[in-house]
């Protein structure tokens, strides 16, 4: 099993692992937002996801963030060698938004619109 740090360094090593709370399967308790991507699409989006580098310096895996077809996706480490994810109305940290803008993932108007969302990450 590769640890999350190795997978941050080499996105091609990232393993997507769907979980029941995001796939409509049986759960004990809370249901999460339904993952609207097919498995192959989710893997592709996960491999393009970026993270706040400052959050990767501690002992806990940071969230990975991706922008795909006008939606924001968040991927979380599952502590078993993979990542699970979902589309979200949460907003990524400023460093992620700035990188998306700078590399052309989002346009300047999209950047401004996302920055105005309530409850935006810092």
pLDDT digits (tens, 9 = 90+) for 55-78: 777 778 999 999 999 999 999 999
Q: Is residue 34 part of a domain?
A: yes
What phi-psi label fits residue 119: left (phi over 0), alpha (psi between -120 and 50 degrees) or beta? left
The CA–CA distances, whole Å, from 54 to 37, 68, 75 equal 28, 23, 17
Give the separation between CA 34 and CA 23, rounded to whole angstroms: 5
Torsion of CA 74, 68, 89, 26, to 10 degrees: -60
Q: Is residue 63 part of a domain?
A: yes
Q: Is residue 72 part of a domain?
A: yes
Q: Residue 121 pLDDT > 70, yes or no? A: no
Region 88-101 average pLDDT? 91
Maximum Cα interatomic distance, the chain, rounded to a whole number of Å: 42
Q: Is residue 99 part of a domain?
A: yes
Region 9-38 average pLDDT? 74
SS3 (DSSP) at 72: strand
Q: Residue 23 pLDDT > 90, yes or no? A: no
Question: 111 lies in which domain range?
Answer: 4-115
Q: Is residue 121 part of a domain?
A: no
Q: Is residue 10 part of a domain?
A: yes
Q: Which of 33-42, 52-61, 90-99, 103-112 has the lowest mean pLDDT?
A: 52-61
Considering the entire predicted model, what is its pTM? 0.84
The domain total for the chain is 1
Question: What pLDDT, on a 0 to 100 scale, did the predictor assign at position 55?
Answer: 79
Region 12-37 average pLDDT? 71
């Amino acid at each position: 099993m590769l640890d999350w740090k190795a997978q941050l360094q080499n996105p091609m090593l990232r393993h997507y692992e769907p979980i029941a709370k995001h796939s409509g399967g049986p759960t004990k308790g809370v249901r999460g937002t339904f993952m609207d991507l097919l498995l192959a699409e989710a893997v592709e989006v996960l491999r393009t996801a970026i993270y706040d580098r400052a959050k990767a310096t501690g002992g806990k895996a940071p969230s990975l963030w991706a922008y795909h077809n006008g939606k924001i996706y968040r991927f979380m480490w599952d502590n078993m060698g993979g990542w699970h994810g979902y589309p979200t109305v949460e907003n990524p940290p400023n460093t992620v938004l700035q990188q998306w803008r700078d590399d052309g993932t989002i346009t300047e108007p999209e950047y401004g619109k996302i920055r105005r969302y309530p409850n935006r990450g810092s």
